[in-house]
A and B are shown apart, each in its own frame.
Chain A
Amino acid sequence: MGKKIGIDLGTTYSCVSYIDDTGNIAIVEAAEGGNTTPSVVYFDPDTNEAVVGSTARQEGALHPESMVERVKNYMGDPYYTMNINGNEYSPAAISSLILKKLITDTENWLGGEEIEGAIITCPAYFGDAAREATRVAGENVTLSNGEKLKVLQILDEPVAAALAYGNSKREDMQKRVLVYDLGGGTFDVTVMDLNFVGDNRSMEVITTNGNHQLGGKDWDTALATYVVNQFCSATGADPEEVMNDPEQIQWYSENIEKAKRTLTNKETVSLTPNFNGAREKIEITREIFDQETESLLNQTIILIEDMMAKKQLTMDCIDEIILVGGSTRMPQVKKRLEDEYHKPIVSYDPDKAVATGAALVAAGLQASSTTAAPGEDPVQPVSGGSIVIGGETGEQTEIIVKCTKSYGLLALANGQDIIANIIMKDSEKPAVETRRFGTSAENQINLNLRVYENDSVTADATVEESTELYENCIVELTPGLPAGAPIDITFNLDASGILVITALDVTNNISKVVQPVRIGGDINNVGMDAIQGTLLR
């Protein structure tokens, strides 16, 4: 039996973890050193070999047109592809290369032990299309033994982080927590219930929200802008000229990050930028840094308030706030949350919490596979699709995860088009709901379903606030059906949050899985063949 691993596929950095033979969490070290791999891909224009990670970033600096980064922001986008060196690639294809690099490093790290499958994490607000793209990316990775990687589950990042936190606590607890995850490029916030009492252990995601364009890099930019403006005011230099000078870009890139880290432990830091022979000492206090970045922090608070209001929750029901993500190390984050909400704030291994949680879920699947009955698929989680994690001592915790989107069909109500939600946001995953339709004419050939996704928590949503998922979703019908013949359409949202639609001809008792065509066509596989033939340097 091989190893099941957890992969934190991040916007800016990725990380792999697993539970080792001693029951401890192990983080895989990248070939270039360090526990994280930059999510950057570079295609050599001469050989079309691909490079992933820190080396890619350096190569890409020379040939930016051959480099791709932050591709996660486009996962699931039905129209987005990238042209690199004359070849088209989908975000899924690029992510597949990143995953390939991570898998190669892991295989080397494990020293020959096979990888049986992987849990891959994604932001909680990823919809069906983005999750499907992530799954396709993973399933197109070829292992060293020639087999394809098994994607065991797509796991929400805040769930993974909360799992890691909950698993680290051995004492009984019953609390509702808010997981505040501020990474390098994305922000997630989630409310969860943790119930660890005696032998009963469960965790439940209540609701989630986020912004995948907001992260620690924005704080760096704000600080750099301040320093540049101060320098230019003192020396008379042109801010545009400074900010566009390549040497200055390198200098600020190196020193702003250092200054931000220094302000984590100290109240002041000073920088001495220089440009065209002029130098000036710029002092930055923590107060100044906080002022310059206040609007960014406000955005996170607004997202929290919005999430709570939609669910009709107040902060009174929250017992504790858990900080996840390297950017939560900034003292302003903890201070603002304390001032705003007066709740205990805890931090669990900000950089590795998500990967740790993914490893725990992978271990749970490992444990369940050893107890599978003959003939039973050992990969299936124990509790009918819910998540089970394995701890160091072999105990298992069932995790109840809720849907982060609502899914419904276009319908007519009072003469207006609406979306009738069939699977509601915040219902438990896996979620299965069936609706009965009738054929409108005799010998009807097919049903064309218009399937939408939205953030509404009510039974109806407007078309404007919804996103159509499929270009066509045709249900072929059995010939000879009378008008009004019943057809049961079942929406099955699996534990990974990916939608599967089945149709049952009730009259003839014939069931089939619908194969919809996504908006934008088979976008995920654009460039996938080229990726398979691409050597990873």
Chain B
Amino acid sequence: MEYEENFNPWSVTEESVEQNNICENDARKEAQNVGCVSEAKSEEVVHETPANAQCEENSQGTNCQNEVMNENQAPAQAAAPEQNVEMCQCEAAEASNEEAVPVQEEKPIVSFDEYKELTNAHFQNLRSLIKYTKTKDETIFKMNGELQKYREGYCTKAFKSIATLVISYREDCRKALEDLEKYDNDVQKVQKYIYFLVDDYNELLSNAGIENDGEMWRFNGKALSFNGRKYVKFPPAFQDAPELVENEVELDGEGLKEYLKSFEQNVKALLANNEMLDKSLNEYLKLSLAIENDVILTGFYPALKKMISVADKIAELVEASAKSVTEENKNDKYALCLNYLIDSLEDVLLIGGVSIYTTVDETFDTRKNRLVKAIVTTDKSLDRMIAKQYTECYIMNDAVIYPAKVDVYKYQEQN
């Protein structure tokens, strides 16, 4: 058996060598979304946009990559080969190969194993060129799973940062209410403290991203509309990745042709998959944005609405109370505002899925409690019991988001 020097399984004639070099370059360009330039036919024939490109559907049922890109449009009509001016480059190369490969029914020019080795090497090179690995498919599926969890749990997680601001403020109000029992402040101070309530509440809203620009309320810059709920539109579901095709090859010219054809199909499938990968990533990003803009609002819109209504109401209440505060009614006026805030913010938290717990008379729990100070006791039965609770414990989705601040008994033997 004789072998040609520098044998290239893709080509035999000079013309087909040039065609195949273009085929490789275009495969690389397709991976970079530059577009496929068909120079096989004529210089003026170019794939202008994916939407305009048409390719002959191959016999395997795997569409040319251009049809994958066109999936949102009417499927491209399969043209008769002789009328199909804008041929996919690989098919141009194949046409050249058809003419170039000598048909030797009994003796192949090169052994099948060597052909397979050469084409597989070429296949691997293409894979590295388009920087595609199978694991990226797995990434897409993982991202899908993540997205699903995101959809199910996002609203809750997104509300957590707002909830902690509300909780801090509410606990400050509770502390102020306790202090009313213990300390006597003069009228001017009480008046000042009443006005503090509005300032602090407005700061809370601002830190939560809720602001009034004079015309309307906005959340993170996006207008809040309370005339009706806004529904989210999700983009279409992702397509499954096409499976790679493997063929058994017979040791004759026809078998080799079939093998090379299936090789091209694999390449196209890979490139198509790469396109789908890019498309999927773009869809994922769009969905993330949709979630950020819309699902948040849909999810805890009632809590936001309540917070805004509290802002309006407390402003009125504070103004009315502060103006009419006297030595006799100062504590009552202050308490009125504080109680309103404590109760209303409890509603906000409950709407947002936060539960409030008291841990008084319980044992110190590192999950639910934050230690303020230890109170030494010689009574062993009191060891680790909560002596005093300063703040309540707040739990969201079984996770403690704000532990109760407590004093705890600490047993010490009598000396």
Contact = CB atoms under 8 A, between A and B. Distances in A.
A262 B203 CA distance: 11
Contact of A22 (B138, B207, B370): B138
A298 interface: no
B179 A62 contact: no
Nearest to B164: A258
B220 to A, nearest CB: 12
Contacts of A266: 206-207
B135 A23 contact: yes
Given A262-B207, A277-B179, A247 B136 contact: no
A246 B366 contact: no
A33 interface: yes
A61 B200 CA distance: 30
B175 A250 contact: no
Interface string A264-296: 001001101010111101000000000000000
B206, B366, B367 interface centre (most CB from chain A within 10 Å): B366
B196 interface: yes
Contacts of A250: 370, 372, 390, 405
A55 B368 CA distance: 10
A62 B410 contact: yes
8 contacts: A21-B138, A22-B138, A23-B133, A58-B367, A258-B168, A272-B196, A274-B179, A278-B185
Given A22-B135, A247-B405, A279-B196, A61 B371 contact: yes
B193 A24 contact: no
B366 A55 contact: yes
A255 B185 CA distance: 25
Contacts of B410: 62-63
A220 B87 CA distance: 67
Nearest to B405: A250
A47 interface: no
Given A21-B135, A274-B175, A277-B185, A58 B193 contact: no
Nearest to A270: B203
Interface in B185-200: 185, 189, 192-193, 196, 199-200
B142 interface: yes
Given A246-B372, A276-B183, A278-B185, 14 more contacts: A23-B133, A55-B366, A55-B367, A62-B364, A246-B373, A247-B405, A250-B372, A250-B390, A270-B203, A272-B200, A277-B182, A277-B184, A278-B183, A281-B200
B289 interface: no
Nearest to A21: B135
B80 interface: no
Interface string B194-228: 00100110010011000000000000000000000
Nearest to B403: A58
A366 to B, nearest CB: 15
Interface in B379-414: 384, 390, 399, 403, 405, 408, 410
B397 to A, nearest CB: 11
Interface residues of B, number: 41
Interface in B125-176: 131, 133, 135-136, 138-139, 142, 168, 172, 175-176
A300 B371 CA distance: 34
Main secondary structure of the interface of A (DSSP, over half): mixed
Nearest to B367: A55
A23 B372 CA distance: 45
Interface residues of A, number: 30
Interface of B: 131, 133, 135-136, 138-139, 142, 168, 172, 175-176, 179, 182-185, 189, 192-193, 196, 199-200, 203, 206-207, 364, 366-367, 369-374, 384, 390, 399, 403, 405, 408, 410
A393 B364 CA distance: 50
Contacts of B372: 246-247, 249-250
Nearest to A58: B366
B347 to A, nearest CB: 23
B142 A22 contact: yes
A393 B196 contact: no
Nearest to A277: B183
- The 9 A-B pairs at the shortest CB distance, nearest first, are namely A277-B183, A61-B371, A58-B366, A246-B373, A22-B139, A277-B179, A55-B366, A22-B135, A246-B372
A278 B203 CA distance: 20
A377 interface: no
A270 B196 CA distance: 11
A29 interface: no
Contacts of A24: 139
Contacts of B135: 21-23
Contacts of A62: 364, 371, 374, 384, 408, 410
Contacts of A246: 372-373
A23 to B, nearest CB: 6
Contacts of A255: 168
A21 B142 CA distance: 11
B146 to A, nearest CB: 12
Interface in A398-449: none
A33 to B, nearest CB: 7
Given A58-B369, A62-B364, A62-B410, A254 B384 contact: no
Contacts of A63: 374, 410
Quick one: which of A23, A24, A274, A276 has the most chain B CB within 10 A? A274
Contacts of A488: none
A204 interface: no
A58 B374 CA distance: 12
B399 to A, nearest CB: 7
Interface string A339-362: 000000000000000000000000
Contacts of A33: 399
A410 B184 CA distance: 72
Interface in A42-67: 55, 58-59, 61-63
B407 to A, nearest CB: 8
A23 B136 CA distance: 9
Contacts of A278: 183, 185, 189
Nearest to B172: A272
Best-buried of A61, A62, A63 by chain B (most CB within 10 Å): A62
Contacts of B200: 270, 272, 281
A255 B405 CA distance: 14
A272 B176 CA distance: 11
A80 B133 CA distance: 52
Contact of A274 (B172, B207, B370, B399): B172
A421 B339 CA distance: 73
A58 B192 CA distance: 36
Contact of B176 (A254, A274, A281): A274
B234 to A, nearest CB: 24
A62 B373 CA distance: 7
A22 B277 CA distance: 14
Contacts of B176: 274, 279
Interface string A96-109: 00000000000000
Nearest to A32: B367
Contacts of B367: 55, 58
Contacts of B139: 22, 24
